[in-house]
C-alpha cells in the first residue's frame, strides 16, 4: 500500500521532504502535485521506476520522458540549447511548460527518445516541487499522471491513493492542483513547435 503524506502547500515540512527524498533515493515511485496536475516521479537512475511509469500510463518505449529540474542551471546540464532557445526558455521558466530538446551525455540513453535522442525538460512553478528538488539535489524523472483512456491529469491525491494504491509507493498531497497538463514545446529542430497546448501560454512560442 502507498504511503499518503499531507505536505503543507506553502511551507513544506522539512521532515516530510526528507522522507520523500530518501524514498526516491531508494528507488521508490511517487505521485505528486505540480503546477499542471499530478505527475509520477522517480530517480533518474531508477530503471524499474521508468518501467512502472510506462505500465501505469499504458505507454510504449517511444514515450518522451521529462526531467523535472530545479532551475535553469540544472536544466542546462541535460539538454543542448542554442542562443534563441536559451533566451526564450529562460524567460518562460519556472512555469507550466515542457521543452523537448537534444539530450546531452548526462541523460541515460533509456530516457531519450530512441530515434531522435531528445528528452523533455521542465522547471515547475510549484512550492512543493521546488522544495523536493532542493532536498533531492538532482532532477527527477517525471511523467504527467494521465491514465489510459483519459485526457486530463489527475488532480486529487486521495483519488490517486484509492486507484493506484498498489502501483506507487507514496502519494503526496499539497493543496489544490489544476487538472491541466503542461504546454509542450518541441525545440529539437532549432525552432519552437507547439505540440500540446496546456497550462502554459503557447502564444509566446508561436512562430
Question: pLDDT, tens digit, for every residue of 150-175?
Answer: 989 999 999 999 999 999 999 999 98
C-alpha cell, 166: 498498489
CA distance 156 to 40: 13
Residue with cell 511517487: 30
Closest-CA residue to 141 (of 58, 73, 78): 78
Neighbours of 207 (CB within 10 A): 6
Closest-CA residue to 112 (of 42, 187, 120): 120
Q: 207 or 62: which carries more pLDDT confidence?
A: 62
First to last CA, the chain: 47
Average pLDDT, the chain: 94
CA distance 16 to 7: 7
Question: pLDDT, tens digit, for every residue of 52-107?
Answer: 999 999 998 778 889 999 999 999 999 999 999 999 999 999 999 999 999 999 99
Measured in degrees and rounded to the nearest 5, phi and psi for residue 125 equal -100, 70
Q: Which of 13-22, 142-151, 177-186 has the highest mean pLDDT?
A: 13-22
How many CA atoms lie less than 13 Å away from 127 in the CB half-sphere? 13
C-alpha cell, 98: 515542457
196 touches 181 (CB < 8 A): yes
* pTM confidence score: 0.94
For residue 207, name the pLDDT band (cuts at 50, 70, 90): low
pLDDT at 41 over 90: yes
pLDDT of 63: 81
Question: pLDDT, tens digit, for every residue of 91-100?
Answer: 999 999 999 9
b/e map 87-126, b = 16+ CB within 10 Å: ebbeebbbbbbbbbbbbeeebeeebbbeeeebbbbbbbbb
pLDDT of 206: 79
CA distance 57 to 120: 17
DSSP 35: B
pLDDT of 148: 95
pLDDT at 117 over 70: yes
Q: Classify strands 140-144 and 118-122 as parallel, antiparallel or unpaired.
A: unpaired
CA distance 153 to 186: 20
Amino acid at each position: 500500500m502507498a504511503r499518503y503524506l499531507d505536505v503543507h502547500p506553502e511551507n513544506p515540512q522539512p521532515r516530510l521532504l526528507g522522507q520523500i527524498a530518501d524514498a526516491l533515493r531508494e528507488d521508490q515511485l511517487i505521485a505528486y502535485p505540480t503546477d499542471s496536475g499530478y505527475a509520477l516521479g522517480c530517480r533518474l537512475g531508477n530503471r524499474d521506476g521508468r518501467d512502472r511509469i510506462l505500465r501505469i500510463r499504458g505507454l510504449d518505449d517511444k514515450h518522451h520522458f521529462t526531467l523535472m529540474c530545479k532551475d535553469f542551471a540544472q536544466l542546462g546540464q541535460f539538454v543542448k540549447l542554442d542562443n534563441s532557445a536559451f533566451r526564450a526558455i529562460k524567460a518562460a521558466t519556472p512555469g507550466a511548460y515542457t521543452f523537448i530538446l537534444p539530450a546531452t551525455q548526462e541523460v541515460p540513453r533509456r530516457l531519450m527518445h530512441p530515434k531522435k535522442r531528445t528528452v523533455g525538460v521542465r522547471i515547475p512553478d510549484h512550492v512543493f516541487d521546488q522544495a523536493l528538488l532542493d532536498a533531492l539535489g538532482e532532477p527527477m524523472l517525471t511523467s504527467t499522471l494521465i491514465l489510459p483512456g483519459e485526457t486530463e491529469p489527475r488532480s486529487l491525491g486521495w483519488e490517486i491513493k484509492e486507484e493506484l494504491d498498489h502501483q506507487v509507493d507514496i502519494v503526496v498531497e499539497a493543496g489544490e492542483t489544476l487538472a491541466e497538463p503542461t504546454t509542450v514545446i518541441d525545440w529539437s529542430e532549432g525552432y519552437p513547435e507547439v505540440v500540446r497546448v496546456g497550462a502554459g501560454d503557447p502564444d509566446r512560442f508561436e512562430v
